[in-house]
Amino acid sequence: MMKIESLGTSSAKIIYGENHTDLLTLSVQEVLNLFEPSGVLLFRRFGVTPTQMRAFSEKFSSRFVLEPARRIVDSSGNGFVQLVDEGMDYVPPHCEHASSPFRPDVVWFCCGVPAAQNGETLFWDGVRAWEELSEEVRQLFLSKKIKFKHHFPAIAWKIFFGSDTTIADVERALNDLDGVNYLIKDDHSIYMEYTCSAVVKTKFSNQYAFANSILYNHRNKTVFFEDGLPFPDEVIEEIQTVMNRLMEVIRWQSGDLVMIDNSRFLHGRTAFDDTKRQVFSALSYLNGSP
């Protein structure tokens, strides 16, 4: 029998291991039955290592995607585990790869060493965020798509697609994707624009969710409306106010594992200054996903 408690005020849940329970013995179907309505599952007291996270996530996943900015620490199976080591600053609400057509279903994190202070992972329910935005802002995002602009050096896309990937392979991968326009430059870097809705339907409940990377990319001025116009300041302020109100916190303990529905929940991080902090990640598509 698993001990299960609510995590914060959202639908998220904590699952506690007891008597040195082996994470890999948990029923995949039972976990999915909890995950689908909850959207965030925190597994605590299982003593999860990065290798165990890879093995556990493989049970649920058909394939994995990489984050080019992160170092790979385990690729011994079909999955990839990476060290989340890009800086120590605050990270605003975002969904993984939501600014591209390669958005995974699940974000996995496990904690090797928590920061001595701060460094918590934050999360926000995009369904609740959508419900709490004003009718005016909801209508704005239903009527206008958003556009992300990216520049990928050759080294970045070779990490993402694989070191043996050719320009022809990249063209085949991008040509038929909805919302994608791109230009391959002489140095083999890629300029890409990705147009999509800021509002998505959740994978399991088919609800509207304001689950995107607007606040994350807005600070770098790499996201706009489809017509190229910037977001009004008052719209950004309203989104930030709603997110501040809905923010939930994961206060890491060593050996924790978290499983996040990337179609519904946004995540981020508080700033920290402890160089010993170690949090690992994996990004995957669930079995049965296209």
pLDDT tens digit string along 8-40?
Answer: 999 999 999 987 789 999 999 999 999 999 999
Output phi, psi for 254, to 5 deg. Answer: -55, 135
Assign residue 127 a region (left: φ > 0; alpha: ψ between -120 and 50; beta: otherwise): alpha
Q: How many CA atoms lie within 13 A of 262 on its CB side?
A: 20
For residue 173, the surrounding DSSP H or E stretch is helix 167-175
Q: How many residues does the chain have?
A: 290
Query: So what's the pLDDT on residue 18?
Result: 86
Query: What distance lies between CA 110 and its chain's CA centroid?
Result: 14
Asked if residues 286 and 105 have their Cβ atoms less than 8 Å apart, the reply is yes
Contacts of 23 (CB under 8 A, 6+ apart): 17, 43, 46, 48, 52, 56, 257
Q: How many CA atoms lie within 13 A of 127 on its CB side?
A: 17
pTM above 0.85, yes or no: yes
Kindly tell me the sign of the dihedral angle through the C-alpha atoms of 60, 65, 67, 72.
Answer: positive
Segment 226-272, tens digit of pLDDT = 999 999 999 999 999 999 999 999 999 999 999 999 999 999 999 99
Query: What distance lies between CA 174 and its chain's CA centroid?
Result: 21
d(CA 122, CA 279): 13
Asked if residues 276 and 139 have their Cβ atoms less than 8 Å apart, the reply is no
- Spans of the chain below 70 pLDDT: 1, 77-79, 290
Can you list the positions of beta strands (E) in the chain?
3-6, 13-16, 40-44, 61-65, 71-74, 81-83, 91-94, 106-113, 121-125, 146-152, 180-184, 190-196, 200-201, 208-209, 223-225, 248-250, 257-261, 265-269, 278-286
Asked if residues 281 and 114 have their Cβ atoms less than 8 Å apart, the reply is no
d(CA 170, CA 25): 39
- Per the CATH hierarchy, to which homologous superfamily does domain 3-127+247-286 belong? Clavaminate synthase-like (3.60.130.10)
d(CA 250, CA 257): 10
Nearest to 130 by CA among 206, 226, 242: 242
Query: So what's the pLDDT on residue 128?
Result: 98
d(CA 29, CA 75): 25
Where along the chain do its domains lie? 3-127+247-286, 133-242
Kindly tell me the sign of the dihedral angle through the C-alpha atoms of 232, 88, 64, 154.
Answer: positive
Residue type for position 9? T
Q: Which residues of 167-191 are buried (b: 16+ CB within 10 A; e: fewer)?
A: eeebeebbeeeeebebebeeeeebe
